[in-house]
Amino acid sequence: MSALPHPAHPLDPPPSKRRLSWLLVFPKLAVALLILALITLLWLLQKSDREERHNILVKDVLWLEQSLRFHLQNHREQLQQLASELSEEPRSSEQTSLFRLRAAHFLKNNPDIARLGWLDATAENIITLPAHRPQSANSPQAQLLHDSFDIARRLGKAVYSLPYLNAPLEGQIHLLLPIYRHDQLIGMLQITYRLNVLLSSQIPWWFTEKYKVEIVDDNDQVLASKTHIEGTSSDSYLIPFDPPGQGLRLKISDYPSTQSPLQNMLTVAILLLALGVFASLWLVRGLMKKSTRAEAALRAEHAFRTAMENSLTVGMRARDLEGRIIYVNPAFCKMTGFSASELVNHDPPMPYWAPEHMDEARAMHQTVLAGLAPEEGFELTFMRKNRERFEALVYEAKLIDGNGRHTGWMASVLDITERKRAEELARQQQEQLQFTARLVTLGEMASTLAHELNQPLAAIASYNTGCLNLLSTENFSCAELRPTLEKIATQAQRAGRIIRRVHDFVRRSEPKRAPCKLRDIIDDCLAFIEPEARKRQIRIETILPALPTVFVDRLLIEQVLLNLLRNGLDAMADTPAPHRLLQLSVHLTPQEVRLTVGDYGCGIPAEIEDKLYTAFFTTKSEGMGIGLSICRSIIEFHRGRLWAEKHPDSPSGSGTLFTFSLPLEPTPE
């Protein structure tokens, strides 16, 4: 198991969509119920408030009705008292004065009384205070008074008249109280009430702050009204106004006092909070949906990443800025043989550092932490848990987190042991191949060598014969002998060089690059190939500019050139003698020197072009087929290129140009 730096644990299995939507139903239901409960609570509160106000209204109305009744009864009693005083004696000036005195006092204390009158038994006015112009007998008021007078006389008790409107909203009503002496009607006391003054004098201020009080008759005509407030009433209450009766009713209308700001604020706050809760739930729902989607994406990402990690053959290892391991992938665990739990949180020195390479590993570790790790990667020898060593190629890169912060280092580690082993094997094989090739070439060279050596030896022998002949004549000078002896020496040196080259060629040695004059290489090769070419009637043509010094292994480059020249000779075996021409040209550019060997031979068929450089590919009956393969290796070792192309000037149209390039490097000291 690998340890992951961020999602450290696998995610729990996902709840199904249906389960999630079921889970979402509960908070939705709870919020709906909460809002319902709040609305019901507000409604109940308002209802109880209304009922309470109605109860208070009823109580206040009863109180008002009672206080008005007491007031009117009190008037009747006082009037009764006055009537009994007036009935004691026959009408006299003293009694008139008494009436005036009482009446003035009465009126003074009761502003609701408009008039107080004393009538005789025939309803004629004796005294009326305050004095006023008597109404005509036919006026409705006079008629009302007259009717009430009759009723009071007949009933023998106090009677209220029907109400009437003196002016709009100024209703009036009479009270008539008969005066009897010895059971004989001797007169009548009359009070005229101003109903609106009655209301304003009897209703306390606080009552009118809350209610509108009206006196209405049978037809709901308003006779008097008192209020300080305006607006539409929410509740009203009608109660009979008796006394005076006569269909009069008290109408009390309630005006809802404006709710206190605190209460309003509370109501608004509750509603806003409920809305807020609902909105929050909606948001939470959205967030939950989002997080579910994100979770699913994360899960897919996690699965993808795990699959990727498990399929990786490259070891991955992450370290924090202190160099502690924070993550390793399964491939790294497999490579080192340690489990993730053994590696994660491990500080240097790491368990996979080989003890003999400890210093190197530690130095590289510090280099990486300093951010100086080579971009092209570096190689280290690591140790598996079973102490087996392996070669690792490590690439380090910065570990950047989601916020763009540099949090550590991520390394990809390749086990290159096998690759190195294969490379080493290939190198050894190549070396072996070269050696074998040299041996093979040696065989081929043997006959050439015999012929080659034959020439200087034959020359030496003939020069020697010439010298001996000269010596036998006795008539000779030393000066005549010198050039011949020098020629013998030259031929001997040439023979020696031929033998040395063969020796060098056969001797197995590492390529040794050294500054060499290109001209010497070319001259040597031409000298070597010329006899063979002569034998085959092949002309050799050279186009050579001023030649530079090159930094090469001379022997190897000579081998390449010789191989190309010899292939050229072989290719022209069937070319008519006059056309047999081997060309060697050199082309110089500022960066490189190109040597081209051209022939007018059989050419290279397209189908074998790809196989030319394959070892052991040959079209010759005695060929080995490794020449070109070795040539390419040698040239690539020198960081040059080798390629073949059609000879553009070949008369048969099938000749070949083989070119190899060598870079012109500054010659080291």
Closer residue to ligand ADP in complex, CB, 344/612: 612
Please state, as a whole number, how many other Cβ atoms lie within 10 Å of the Cβ of residue 237: 18
- The minimum distance between CB 643 and ligand ADP, in angstroms, equals 12
CA-CA distances (angstroms) from residue 457 to 65, 386, 454, 502, 532? 168, 67, 5, 17, 17
Closer residue to ligand ADP in complex, CB, 253/656: 656
Closer residue to ligand ADP in complex, CB, 414/445: 445
Asked if residues 233 and 50 have their Cβ atoms less than 8 Å apart, the reply is no
Mapping DSSP onto H, E and C, the string for 402-423 reads CCCCEEEEEEEEEECHHHHHHH
Can you spell out the DSSP letters for 72-90? HHHHHHHHHHHHHHHHSS-
Distance CA 382, CA 315 (A): 13
Integer Rg of the chain from CA: 69
- The minimum distance between CB 619 and ligand ADP, in angstroms, equals 3
- The minimum distance between CB 489 and ligand ADP, in angstroms, equals 37
Distance CA 338, CA 383 (A): 10
**Paired sense of beta strands 249-254 and 211-216, if any:** antiparallel
- The minimum distance between CB 569 and ligand ADP, in angstroms, equals 9
- The minimum distance between CB 613 and ligand ADP, in angstroms, equals 8
Can you spell out the DSSP letters for 318-355? EEETTS-EEEE-HHHHHHH---HHHHTTPPSSPTTB-G
- The minimum distance between CB 450 and ligand ADP, in angstroms, equals 21
- The minimum distance between CB 528 and ligand ADP, in angstroms, equals 16
Q: In sequence order, which residues have a C-beta less than 8 Å from that of residue 296 and are 6 or more positions away?
A: 14
Asked if residues 323 and 361 have their Cβ atoms less than 8 Å apart, the reply is no
Burial class for 655, CB neighbours closer than 10 Å (0-12, 13-18, 19+): buried
- The minimum distance between CB 660 and ligand ADP, in angstroms, equals 13
- The minimum distance between CB 506 and ligand ADP, in angstroms, equals 18
The dihedral through the CA atoms of 123, 129, 133, 136 has a sign that is: negative
- The minimum distance between CB 441 and ligand ADP, in angstroms, equals 9
- The minimum distance between CB 447 and ligand ADP, in angstroms, equals 16
Distance CA 388, CA 160 (A): 132
Q: In sequence order, which residues have a C-beta less than 8 Å from that of residue 349 and are 6 or more positions away?
A: 358, 361, 362
SS3 content of the chain, % helix, strand, coil (to 5): 50, 20, 30
Closer residue to ligand ADP in complex, CB, 414/437: 437
Closer residue to ligand ADP in complex, CB, 381/585: 585
Residues that bind ligand ADP (CB under 6 A): 563, 567-568, 571, 599, 601-604, 612, 617-620, 623-629, 656, 658
Closer residue to ligand ADP in complex, CB, 128/618: 618
Can you spell out the DSSP letters for 44-61? HHHHHHHHHHHHHHHHHH
Closer residue to ligand ADP in complex, CB, 100/594: 594
Distance CA 434, CA 205 (A): 132
Closer residue to ligand ADP in complex, CB, 500/539: 539
Closer residue to ligand ADP in complex, CB, 192/656: 656
618: its two tokens? 């040959």
Closer residue to ligand ADP in complex, CB, 187/627: 627
Closer residue to ligand ADP in complex, CB, 68/604: 604
